[in-house]
């Protein structure tokens, strides 16, 4: 059982389950993360994403299932035996060591004769060279974050785990670090697994996003795909905003399903709906919806509503519109026109969208 | 000059304070002194004055033929006597206190570690057990040890049975004294170490494992250094009072080969005219401890951590 394990290849989780007493934190996850990709585990707090990460790190052992890198089974091995390093949420820098010694810690443990050299290269990579002699307490949060990253990267792990690494930074710094992290990942070419509850962060940084909820992966794919075509109600609502309504499928019209959402007939492309009969949750993203004062000519894919709230955002104006079905939809007007619509709360408006943008997911809340 | 505003004469160096301090700041600084007053008074009356008095007594001379009567003097003979006649007592005090500190550390560290990381729901109970002895008098507890370690007691019985006690006795030996000192000051070692371990971020300790350090290496390179402020405080809180202690020697120790605390006690209370020597001994002890603490903190001090 003892000894460091070299391993190369994709990270694989096979039916990994973790329970704490009666509580199942992670419920039979199957996952393959291709080598060298930037992978995000996205979900609300308590969804099991951090527990999943800790099982990859070896800080928790799965109750069932296997954790592998390439052909090497890492299940049951200790954290220090794995070619995996973690950037902790609170950075977890060693308070009694200088920045240089913090970064050199890993290489020294592995008896690397060039530990000091490797450490200064890593500090160079995160642009922290001038702080090498300081103690962690003398650095700001953003600087500590960079050191934590260098301390993990210096070991050239096969998989780098990032546990909400930007969570404690302010918005501006977070944006900067997002770009920085992406740059570093491209530069070093390691597998990054980034745990976050920030959907924007996951979408901007990752090649592949896995949305987790209640210990399971709801959907996995490239960010654009997840956003464009969510497959569950949870993903539709968690990833960006969605205008939704529960309806009943009434029939088929060519490529489209026709559903009745509380009196309004809507159309969904057959291959963009996860259900083809019975109850369906119809949805369309706010930016795909067009607002106008008059009923537009065309296919009749439109609904009349009443403006409830108007917010001017600069590049766009955002409207909240009360729908006849009783729900409230959100939509935008790009501020392109010389004469804007100039809608006021209480005005009647028509909302239309291209049926190709609509999606259908199971209506049950699971 | 960076500022064109009229330079204040109140705030001292105008280059450092180009703007005059607001009246509010001045008022606040008065409040600070006012708040300090009770503490300063207390220290003055109960620490500085007695210390001056002690220093003055330590330099007094006796009236020949009138034991118990002194006159004000600058008699350094008292210090010479303290250092020559009682050097072995000082040595024993520091040796026994040092041994007790080491033993207390060896017992306290695992205990504090278990309380901080392993105890779970038993943590509070363990804490109560560490503190509980304080509810009984120090003297009574030390008396209890004289019973536990007595020749008829079970400790001696068991050890003798296995032929582990060549002398046949523990009570009235230095071993009993060191045992008593260790016992009496153990909580002062446990609590600061526990506090520093408990404050340590468990993620930092996990980070040691994540960075290829096994359990022992993580302890050696991460956990132990992080708890050094507690170890430092604990050793000082044990060593300083143990070095000046006389009760354990009085109740558990041998008739001959006393510690410096006992000599001071005897000089003050039992020997007529012993006051100046007792005062000189006290001062020497204080100076010696201060010097040792200074060197120790210089060597192991970790103020950057706190």
Is there a contact between A135 and B304 if contact means CB atoms under 8 Å apart? yes
User: Who among A85, A94, A110 is closest to B222 (CB)?
Assistant: A94
Contact indicator for B300, B230 with CB cutoff of 8 Å: no
* Predicted confidence pLDDT, tens digits, chain B (306 residues): 344 444 444 434 444 445 555 555 556 678 888 999 999 999 999 999 999 999 999 998 888 877 777 888 888 888 998 889 999 999 999 999 999 999 999 999 999 999 999 988 999 999 999 999 989 999 999 999 999 999 888 899 899 888 888 877 889 999 999 999 999 999 999 999 999 999 999 999 999 999 999 999 999 999 999 999 999 999 999 999 999 999 999 999 999 889 999 999 998 888 887 889 999 999 999 999 999 999 988 888 765 443
- Does A86 score more than 90 pLDDT? yes
Contacts of B211 in chain A (CB under 8 A): 80, 85, 105-106, 109, 151-152, 155
Contact indicator for A94, A105 with CB cutoff of 8 Å: yes
Contacts of A105 in chain B (CB under 8 A): 208, 211, 213, 221
CA distance A144 to A138: 9
Q: What is the mean pLDDT of residues A285-306?
A: 82
Higher pLDDT, A273 or B4: A273
User: Who among B201, B209, B302 is closest to A80 (CB)?
Assistant: B209
Q: Is the dihedral of CA A25, A27, A28, A32 positive or negative?
A: negative
Is there a contact between A88 and B206 if contact means CB atoms under 8 Å apart? yes
Is there a contact between A78 and B209 if contact means CB atoms under 8 Å apart? yes
Query: pLDDT tens across A303-343, in order?
Result: 888 999 999 888 888 999 998 878 889 998 888 877 777 88
- Does A41 score more than 90 pLDDT? yes
Q: Domains along chain B?
A: 50-85+271-306 (no CATH), 89-256 (1.10.3720.10)
Is there a contact between A155 and B211 if contact means CB atoms under 8 Å apart? yes
Query: pLDDT tens across A203-239, in order?
Result: 989 999 999 999 999 999 999 999 999 999 999 989 8
Rounded to whole angstroms, what are the CA distances from A314 to A200, A287, A309, A311, A351? Answer: 20, 15, 16, 9, 21
User: Who among B201, B214, B217 is closest to A92 (CB)?
Assistant: B201
Chain B's closest residue to A160, CA to CA, is B210
Q: Mean pLDDT in chain A?
A: 90
- pLDDT at residue A364, as a whole number: 78
Reported residue count of chain A is: 366
| Packed helices B174-199 and B138-148: angle between N→C axes, nearest 10 degrees | 120
- pLDDT at residue B305, as a whole number: 42
Helices (H) and strands (E) in chain B, counts: 15, 2
CA distance A266 to A324: 13
Chain B's closest residue to A2, CA to CA, is B214
CA distance A349 to A307: 7
- pLDDT at residue B22, as a whole number: 54
Contact indicator for B17, B25 with CB cutoff of 8 Å: no
Provide residues of A within 8 Å CB-CB of chain B. 4, 57-59, 78-80, 84-86, 88-90, 92-97, 105-106, 109-110, 135, 137, 151-152, 155
Rounded to whole angstroms, what are the CA distances from A274 to A231, A283, A360? Answer: 6, 12, 6
Is there a contact between B228 and A96 if contact means CB atoms under 8 Å apart? yes
Best CA proximity match to A352, nearest among A294, A312, A280: A294
Tokens 């009666």 belong to residue: A22
Is there a contact between A79 and B228 if contact means CB atoms under 8 Å apart? no
Is there a contact between A94 and B226 if contact means CB atoms under 8 Å apart? yes
Strand order in the sheet with A302-312: A289-292, A348-353, A302-312, A316-322, A328-334
Is there a contact between A94 and B304 if contact means CB atoms under 8 Å apart? no
User: Who among A80, A88, A96 is closest to B213 (CB)?
Assistant: A80
Is there a contact between B213 and A94 if contact means CB atoms under 8 Å apart? no
Is there a contact between B204 and A93 if contact means CB atoms under 8 Å apart? yes
- CB count within 10 Å of CB A37 equals 17
Query: pLDDT tens across A131-174, in order?
Result: 999 999 999 988 999 999 999 999 999 999 999 988 878 888 88
Tokens of A194: 């980034």
- pLDDT at residue B237, as a whole number: 95
Best CA proximity match to A200, nearest among A209, A187, A191, A212: A209
Considering the entire predicted model, what is its pTM? 0.81
- pLDDT at residue B28, as a whole number: 66
Q: How many CB pairs under 8 A join A and B?
A: 72
Strands A208-213 and A289-292: unpaired
């Amino acid at each position: 059982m003892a000894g460091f394990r070299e391993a190369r290849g994709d990270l694989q989780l096979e039916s990994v389950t973790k329970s704490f007493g009666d509580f199942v934190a992670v419920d039979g996850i199957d996952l393959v993360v291709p080598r060298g990709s930037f992978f995000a585990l996205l979900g609300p707090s308590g969804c099991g994403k951090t527990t999943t990460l800790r099982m990859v790190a070896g800080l928790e052992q799965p109750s069932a299932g296997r954790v592998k890198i390439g052909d090497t089974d890492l299940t049951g091995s200790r954290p220090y035996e794995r070619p995996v390093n973690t950037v902790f949420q609170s950075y977890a820098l060693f308070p009694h060591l200088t920045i240089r010694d913090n970064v050199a810690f890993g290489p020294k443990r592995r008896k690397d004769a060039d530990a000091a050299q490797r450490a200064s290269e890593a500090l160079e990579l995160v642009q922290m060279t001038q702080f090498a002699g300081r103690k962690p307490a003398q650095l700001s949060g953003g600087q500590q974050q960079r050191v934590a990253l260098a301390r993990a990267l210096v070991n050239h792990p096969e998989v780098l785990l990032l546990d909400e690494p930007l969570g404690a930074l302010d918005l501006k710094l977070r944006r900067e670090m997002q770009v920085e992290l992406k740059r570093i990942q491209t530069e070093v070419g390691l597998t990054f697994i980034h745990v976050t509850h920030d959907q924007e962060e996951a979408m901007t940084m990752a090649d592949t996003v896995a949305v987790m909820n209640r210990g399971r992966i709801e959907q996995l794919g490239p960010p654009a795909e997840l956003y464009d075509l969510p497959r569950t109600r949870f993903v539709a609502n968690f990833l960006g905003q969605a205008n939704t309504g529960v309806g009943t499928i009434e029939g088929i019209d060519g490529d489209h399903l026709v559903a009745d959402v509380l009196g309004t007939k809507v159309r969904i492309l057959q291959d963009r709906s996860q259900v083809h009969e019975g109850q369906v949750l119809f949805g369309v993203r706010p930016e795909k919806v067009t607002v106008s004062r008059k009923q537009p000519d065309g296919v009749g894919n439109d609904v009349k509503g009443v403006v409830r709230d108007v917010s001017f955002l600069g590049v766009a104006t955002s409207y909240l519109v009360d729908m006849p079905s009783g729900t409230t939809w959100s939509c935008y007007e790009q501020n392109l026109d010389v004469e804007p619509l100039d809608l006021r709360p209480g005005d009647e408006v028509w909302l239309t969208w291209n049926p190709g943008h609509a999606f259908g997911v199971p209506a049950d809340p699971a | 000059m960076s500022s064109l505003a009229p330079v204040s004469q109140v705030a001292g160096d105008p280059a450092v304070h180009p703007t005059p301090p607001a009246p509010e700041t001045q008022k606040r600084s008065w409040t600070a002194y006012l708040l300090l007053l009770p503490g300063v008074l207390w220290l003055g009356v109960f620490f500085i004055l007695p210390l001056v008095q002690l220093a003055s007594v330590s330099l007094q001379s006796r009236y020949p033929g009138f034991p118990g009567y002194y006159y004000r003097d600058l008699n350094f003979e008292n210090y010479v006597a303290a250092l020559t006649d009682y050097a072995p007592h000082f040595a024993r005090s520091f040796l026994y206190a040092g041994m007790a500190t080491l033993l207390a550390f060896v017992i306290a560290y695992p205990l504090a570690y278990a309380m901080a990381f392993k105890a779970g729901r038993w943590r509070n109970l363990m804490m109560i057990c560490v503190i509980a002895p304080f509810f009984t008098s120090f003297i009574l507890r030390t008396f209890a040890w004289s019973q536990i370690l007595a020749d008829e007691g079970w400790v001696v019985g068991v050890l003798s049975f296995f032929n582990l006690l060549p002398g046949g006795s523990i009570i009235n030996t230095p071993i009993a004294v060191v045992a008593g000192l260790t016992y009496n000051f153990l909580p002062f070692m446990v609590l600061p170490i526990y506090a520093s371990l408990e404050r340590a971020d468990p993620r930092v300790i996990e980070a040691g494992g994540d960075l290829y350090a096994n359990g022992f290496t993580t302890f050696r390179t991460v956990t132990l250094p992080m708890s050094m402020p507690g170890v430092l405080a604990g050793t000082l809180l044990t060593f300083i009072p143990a070095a000046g202690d006389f009760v354990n020697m009085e109740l558990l120790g041998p008739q001959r080969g006393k510690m410096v605390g006992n000599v001071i006690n005897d000089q003050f209370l039992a020997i007529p005219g012993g006051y100046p020597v007792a005062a000189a001994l006290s001062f020497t002890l204080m100076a010696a401890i201060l010097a040792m603490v200074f060197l120790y903190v210089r060597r192991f001090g970790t103020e950057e951590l706190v």
